[in-house]
Amino acid sequence: MQLRKGDNILRRTKAEGTSSLDTSRRLLAIVEKSLDDDKAEDLVVIDLHGKSSMADFMVIASGRSQRQLGAMAEHLATKLKEQGVPGVGIEGARVGDWVLLDGGDIVVHLFRPEVRRFYNLEKMWGMVLPEPDRVAALA
């Protein structure tokens, strides 16, 4: 692997056969599995590739308690570091209502459900999600 100037994660050059987006997708699969293993709820992936320079993907998920959010963030940070993602940052883990994990080309927001509804990041990025009460009524 070759680290190019300005990259914030290790990436293979196109000449080596793997693009930055391919690397991001591989890391996304690791993020999704980690959150699934930790019983995250209502996981949403927003594809930001070509829409934002901050990241290729934004992942939003909920957890039932501050402790669960902190544990999910710690497990995820460890797995990303094992994959060669340098400088994985975690913000908000002490309070635990909203934890932000910066994995370079993947940004993860972990919320308690009521805080997630308040901020409604999915709507900000143009996604229309049904309200949880309406989903239950439709089932």
What's the predicted TM-score (pTM) here?
0.76
pLDDT band at 132 (very low <50, low <70, confident <90, very high): low
Report whether 85 contacts 23 (CB < 8 A). no
* Residue extents of the structural domains in the chain: 14-126
Superfamily of domain 14-126 in CATH is Beta Polymerase, domain 2 (3.30.460.10)
- Quote the DSSP letter at residue 131: -
**Buried b / exposed e along 101-134 (16+ C-beta atoms within 10 A):** bbbbbbbbbbbbeebbeeeeebeeeeeeeeeeee
Report percent pLDDT > 90 for the chain.
Answer: 53
**Buried b / exposed e along 42-75 (16+ C-beta atoms within 10 A):** eebebebeeeeeebbbbbbbbbeebebbbbbbee
**Cα–Cα distance, 59 to 124 (Å, whole number):** 14
pLDDT (tens digit per residue) in 71-117:
999 999 999 999 999 889 999 988 889 999 998 889 999 999 999 99
Sign for the pseudo-dihedral over CA of 50, 54, 57, 62:
negative
**Encoded tokens for 18:** 């793997």
For residues 36-64, average pLDDT: 90
